[in-house]
Amino acid sequence: MRIPYTGPLPPPIIVPRNANTPTGAISALTNFLSAPRSSLLPPLPNTDDRTVLLTGAGISVASGLADYRGTAGTYTLNKTYRPIYYNEFISNHEARKRYWARSFLGWTNLHKAKPNDAHWAVRDLGNRGFISKVITQNVDSFHPTAHPDLSTLELHGYLRSLVCIHCGTHLPRKDFQQSLSTLNPEWAAFLAEMLQTGALDSEHPDERREKGLKSNPDGDVDVPNAPYTTFRYPACPTCLANPPTLTNGTRSIVETDSDGAWSSSSTAGVLKPAVVMFGESIAASVKAAAEEAIDTASRVLVIGSSLATYSAWRLVKRAKDRNMPIGILNLGGVRGEEGFIAGLKADNDGSLGVRCSESADKILPAVFKNLEPTAFAEHNEEILSTQSSYT
């Protein structure tokens, strides 16, 4: 994944004009999702008249999680924030100690957080046949939890599992948390104290800062001047039992201390979160699946994303190049939004494209209520009519 765009984002360009209020935004999004397939799209047999969603951290803010570029986002309030990079993680034992210590402190709140009304509205819209697929940049697993029957492509992976960078073994993150607690009793006691005093109850950076903490997205809690170098983490159990062969043809070494913590003398057995870190490549199969999701839909709706990461921005650019109608529901600016909504007619009611700056958890449930069963039936008739023309 490329380093995210960090330049200033433009203010939202609201389209249509009446989408500058919650009521107007709801109306415009209702029209957008229920509009017939654009005549500008090529008549391909494997496409349908549904919308593909592209979601970002903003959709999970109502679940109590921090975001990146919102009014209380990490990049907004903490200009010096720097996420860990893939090469740094895989090559630096001390960097991994720091990463896992901060993840250990932040996991409890992330693990107990639940999908919010926006995720449930996505489920309902999917059940009604208006959404073909969800592509999410988020690693919180809220989408597959809220709507397991509506396909979700997790573009940047997920935090619910770990993967060994040497043998590919996957392990549940909740089990790993217990291993970290066992290996680090003093840290576990510190975490218990923070939970008891409510120090981790809020994800708001200002409130955390008052308590001597810095919170970042994806379950990362930084304690300034903490002794991160004392933190220990376990080795991959598969590599420990059967050390793999390295790329140079030699057999790896996987060793632990007397408590089972990974030893710096090891040349394998390193576990990482099953997410795509900055500087790490997204799997070719995931890229292809994301492109297919765009190509087989009739429109794309961006929710809670500033499109600052290239992996997300390029998908909307792909949709624009295909003349797909584009909708954006995001608080604050979006990278390149002026190009995505360019050319919309003055009398557009949202059917041809929409841009609104509202909270998804407040807007999407109302959009779902607007789409009555009669509209749903008409929508399905349009899909069937379009599909029958290819047979």
User: Do residues 267 and 137 make contact, with C-beta atoms less than 8 angstroms apart?
Assistant: no
Select which of 147, 156, 166, 379 is catalytic. 156
Q: Active-site residue 156, yes or no?
A: yes
Cβ contacts of 391 within 8 Å, gap of 6 or more: none
Distance (Å, rounded) from C-alpha 171 to C-alpha 113? 20
C-alpha Rg value of the chain to the nearest Å: 23
Contact indicator for 236, 166 with CB cutoff of 8 Å: yes
Residue 82 CB burial class (10 angstroms; 0-12, 13-18, ≥19): exposed
Question: In what helix (H) or strand (E) does residue 158 lie, and over which residues does it extend?
Answer: strand 157-164
Q: In angstroms, what CA-CA distances link 78 with 16, 71, 244, 335?
A: 33, 11, 41, 20
Pairing mode of beta strands 157-164, 271-275: antiparallel
* Residue 246: φ, ψ to 5°: -80, 170
Task: Count CB atoms within 10 A of the CB of residue 112.
Answer: 8
Q: Which residues are catalytic?
A: 156
